[in-house]
Chains A and B, each alone.
Chain A
Amino acid sequence: MLTASDLRKGLKIQLDGQPYVITHFEFSKPGKGQALYRCKMRNMITGNQFTQTYRSNEKFEKPALEERKMQYLYNQGDEYHFMDTESYEQTFITKEQLGDNVSLMTDNMELDVLFFDEKPIDVTLPIFVNLLVTVAEPWAKGDTSGNDTKPVTVETGYSLQVPPFVVEGDTIQIDTRTGAYVTRVKE
């Protein structure tokens, strides 16, 4: 059991049988008054958000969340299939649940899948992924726009800004937390 004094940004709690993550947290306490804990929360399955203020005597359950190492296999329409690298069990997650993660996932990539109540609800990509550049315009010397980056597209279809020396066929490293270019990977 968790109490209100455990509440903080990033904590996951269970309300009405659903897992929530606290996205904003504010402690307040009027002079001589009781402590109040204002939380903005996001339902980890539906994405719905709401705000609620709790008092110190309130108690919360920890959601039954579990992370498993899995391998991304393939997608069939909006269903993305994964395999547990230990038990070889397979499962799928919908494109909607995966959100932006889809744009950086490649076949056979190993990642962490989050389960709630034995159902997969989210994935955490490795912090850095290496992806092949499939479309890159040559950089026009004397470009007067003043930009020292240019747009490229990688094998997953994701587009981002990179330094001008990156060319088609290069492999680049991307930070999945920000979606930004990190470095060119030497073959």
Chain B
Amino acid sequence: MLDQKRLHLRAAFFQAIRSFFQEQGFLEVDTPIRQPLVIPEHNIIPVPSGTYFLQSSPELYMKRLLASGCEQIFQICRCFRSGERGRLHLEEFVMLEWYRLDADYTILMEDCEKLFQFLDSELADCRFPVSLHEPWEKVTVEQAFQKYCSVSPGDALRQDTFDLLLVEEVEPNLGRKTPTILYDYPLELASLARPKADHIGIAERFELYVEGIELANGFSELTDPVQQRSRFEEEYAKMDASQKRQKKMPELFLQDLGKINQAAGIAMGLDRLFMLIIGQDSLDDAVPFAPDELDM
């Protein structure tokens, strides 16, 4: 359970994030947490809620708001992912997502730098464990895999060792002196991201790391509903049959997606960020109540 000091810090942390986005002209929005149909992503198992599911991310509804005319929106909300429990995972966690119309992933990288610098100056009692005032390290997935495991990401994917190498060989090296932006992912690992022009098989997706810990995942949004539909079909095809998910398409989302010309969006795990800046190394020590502290 968080002590009084950390409860106040956590409140100030959320407040500072809201101030940052409001000052940048973002609109705070809220979208349904219970959804009949969640994003088809084969590695994310949703938590059922009656005949609905609890959201794994507000992504689809945030993009529908972009389609309705919003230009810059953000949301701080609870997300749920079944079976994800560890030092850096909670089945219920707090996500920050923000979206920009007519932007690409490079603008989001700049947002991340500005957000961290803002939090660093606003929150006197918190401390980022890495330098924010030198240029951030930026490395492509290809460069990182060659450097830390002498294999190309393509080969790793073919041998089904990509995730293992990423977690055990690559991630521990990232975000050590400054935060690290790991960018340009293989297309098959970015089912909602836009393919990069002139780079076959690469998507405009990036992840942000501090001290080896993944904090955020952002990308230039895929806005072509035809491509998006076939990516969802691929996700459903890879889904484990034991999940018993209805393989329905989010038709209203796909309809709205066609109304967006260009956009970019990002999701950041706020419990992890808060954990880092209060100097803890387990999420259980960064949230008001850890799962083990609930009445059973």
Residues of A within 8 A of B (CB): 5, 26-36, 38, 53, 55, 57
Interface pair B217/A32, CB less than 8 Å apart:
yes
Report A168 CB to chain B, min CB distance, Å.
45
Measured CB to CB, the nearest residue on chain A to B192 is A32
27 A/B residue pairs, CB under 8 Å, sorted by A: A26-B86, A26-B87, A27-B89, A28-B86, A28-B88, A28-B167, A29-B89, A30-B167, A31-B207, A31-B214, A31-B217, A32-B41, A32-B43, A32-B190, A32-B191, A33-B163, A33-B166, A33-B189, A35-B43, A35-B83, A36-B163, A36-B164, A36-B167, A38-B168, A53-B164, A53-B168, A57-B240
Report A157 CB to chain B, min CB distance, Å.
40
Would you list the 5 A-B pairs with minimal beta carbon distance, nearest first? A27-B86, A33-B163, A31-B217, A34-B163, A28-B167
Residues of A with C-beta under 8 A to B162: 33
Complex CA–CA separation, A55 to B171 (angstroms): 18
Interface check B113, CB cutoff 8 A: no
Residues of A with C-beta under 8 A to B85: 27
Report A105 CB to chain B, min CB distance, Å.
34
Interface check B30, CB cutoff 8 A: no
Interface pair A32/B189, CB less than 8 Å apart:
yes
Report B86 CB to chain A, min CB distance, Å.
3
Report A46 CB to chain B, min CB distance, Å.
26
Residues of A with C-beta under 8 A to B41: 32
Complex CA–CA separation, A128 to B138 (angstroms): 58
Measured CB to CB, the nearest residue on chain B to A53 is B164
Complex CA–CA separation, A27 to B88 (angstroms): 8
Residues of B with C-beta under 8 A to A30: 163, 166-167, 171, 214
Residues of B with C-beta under 8 A to A31: 207, 214, 217
Measured CB to CB, the nearest residue on chain A to B171 is A30
Complex CA–CA separation, A27 to B164 (angstroms): 12
Q: Mark B179-200, 1 if CB is under 8 A from A, else 0.
A: 0000000000111000000000
Complex CA–CA separation, A27 to B85 (angstroms): 7
Complex CA–CA separation, A38 to B214 (angstroms): 17
Interface check B84, CB cutoff 8 A: yes
Residues of A with C-beta under 8 A to B167: 28, 30, 33, 36, 53
Which of A31, A53, A57 has the most chain B CB atoms closer than 10 A to its own CB?
A: A31
Residues of B with C-beta under 8 A to A28: 86, 88-89, 167
Residues of B with C-beta under 8 A to A27: 84-89
Which residues B23-48 have CB closer than 8 A to chain A?
Answer: 41, 43-44
Report A123 CB to chain B, min CB distance, Å.
30
Complex CA–CA separation, A38 to B191 (angstroms): 27
Measured CB to CB, the nearest residue on chain A to B166 is A30
Report B66 CB to chain A, min CB distance, Å.
21
Report A177 CB to chain B, min CB distance, Å.
20
Measured CB to CB, the nearest residue on chain A to B191 is A32
Complex CA–CA separation, A75 to B89 (angstroms): 49
Residues of B with C-beta under 8 A to A29: 43, 84, 89
Report A13 CB to chain B, min CB distance, Å.
18
Residues of A with C-beta under 8 A to B189: 32-33
Measured CB to CB, the nearest residue on chain A to B214 is A31
Residues of B with C-beta under 8 A to A36: 163-164, 167
Complex CA–CA separation, A28 to B88 (angstroms): 7
Residues of A with C-beta under 8 A to B214: 30-31
Report A183 CB to chain B, min CB distance, Å.
30
Complex CA–CA separation, A123 to B94 (angstroms): 45
Interface pair A5/B83, CB less than 8 Å apart:
yes
Residues of A with C-beta under 8 A to B43: 29, 32-35
Report B234 CB to chain A, min CB distance, Å.
13
Residues of B with C-beta under 8 A to A26: 86-87
Which residues B117-176 have CB closer than 8 A to chain A?
Answer: 162-164, 166-168, 171
Measured CB to CB, the nearest residue on chain B to A31 is B217
Complex CA–CA separation, A55 to B166 (angstroms): 14
Residues of A with C-beta under 8 A to B207: 31
Which of A5, A32, A38 has the most chain B CB atoms closer than 10 A to its own CB?
A: A32
Report A74 CB to chain B, min CB distance, Å.
44
Report A33 CB to chain B, min CB distance, Å.
4
Residues of B with C-beta under 8 A to A5: 83
